[in-house]
Amino acid sequence: MKRAMGKYILAFVLVLVLVVLAGCGGSKDEEKKTPEPTAAPTDTLEPTDTPEPTATPLPVVNVAEGKPVTADHEETSDFTADKAVDGDETTRWSGFSLALENPTENYDRWLIVDLENEYVINSFEIWFEFLAVSYKIEVSLTGEENSWTTVFDSDGINPVGPNQVFEEDIEPVKTRYVKFSTYRHEDQAPHSGYPFCSIYELIVWGYDESELNTI
């Protein structure tokens, strides 16, 4: 009887152990799976930029070409002031510097273009044949003395030459007259050998404001 009871107890313990082991192991299917990575949040859509309005090109032209022009000196009848604005890059205006003959003379030469209308100008080009001193560009609505405003000054940097093209942007300014003038900067040595202010073409880029309303 005791042996029979012992067998039952042994069997019971064996079953209990198996049940416990089964509970601890679990099946493969029940194994915890590595959680799927959370999908990256969808990128927040950037607000669509409002397209910039396409800038209408300014009706910029050479407002100096063919316009009345005067200069304080013309080297010869072949190098007259009008040659600086005739639209021909092979003809030129040349002013002779008196300083070559007399060093006490100044180096100043000037040339004024009457644009015959008020234009907003924003850049210029000068096709130099030669210049050995500094130069300025001034503007005026009336052309009267003391009405000039300097919009560019080479300030000691001069083309020297020969045959250099200077292009400069300036703050847009409304003007009718454009004055080119030369001077010897205090840091510049007196020139020699090339006493001319010689320009193939002075090009002034600008536009008529009244035309902006029609384009």
> Is residue 64 close enough to count as binding Ca ion by CB under 5 A?
no
> Is residue 91 close enough to count as binding Ca ion by CB under 5 A?
yes
| 95 and 202 Cβ atoms separated by less than 8 Å | no
> Is residue 83 close enough to count as binding Ca ion by CB under 5 A?
yes
Q: Which residues contact 87 (CB under 8 A, 6 or more apart)?
A: 62, 65, 66, 201
> Is residue 201 close enough to count as binding Ca ion by CB under 5 A?
yes
Give me the phi and psi of 211, to 5 degrees please: -75, -15
**Minimum distance of Ca ion from residue 132's CB (angstroms):** 20
Q: DSSP class of residue 160?
A: B
> Is residue 88 close enough to count as binding Ca ion by CB under 5 A?
yes
Q: Closest CB to Ca ion among 69 and 99?
A: 69
Stretch that binds Ca ion, among 44-52, 85-93, 99-107, 111-119 (CB under 5 A): 85-93
Q: Which of 74, 75, 86, 129 binds Ca ion (CB under 5 A)?
A: 86
**Minimum distance of Ca ion from residue 76's CB (angstroms):** 15
Q: Closest CB to Ca ion among 166 and 172?
A: 166
Strand (E) or helix (H) holding 10: helix 2-25
Stretch that binds Ca ion, among 48-56, 66-74, 75-83, 107-115 (CB under 5 A): 75-83
Q: Write the DSSP string, 95-152.
A: EE-GGGT-TTS----EEEEEEEEEEEEEEEEEEEEEB-SEEEEEEESS--TT--EEEE
Determine the Cα–Cα distance for residues 6 and 86; give it in Å rounded to an integer: 130
Residue nearest to Ca ion (CB): 91
Nearest CA among 82, 113, 85, 110 for reference residue 177: 113
Q: Closest CB to Ca ion among 64 and 151?
A: 64
> Is residue 62 close enough to count as binding Ca ion by CB under 5 A?
no
Stretch that binds Ca ion, among 87-95, 108-116, 142-150, 153-161 (CB under 5 A): 87-95
**Residues in contact with Ca ion by the rule CB under 5 A:** 83, 86, 88, 91, 201
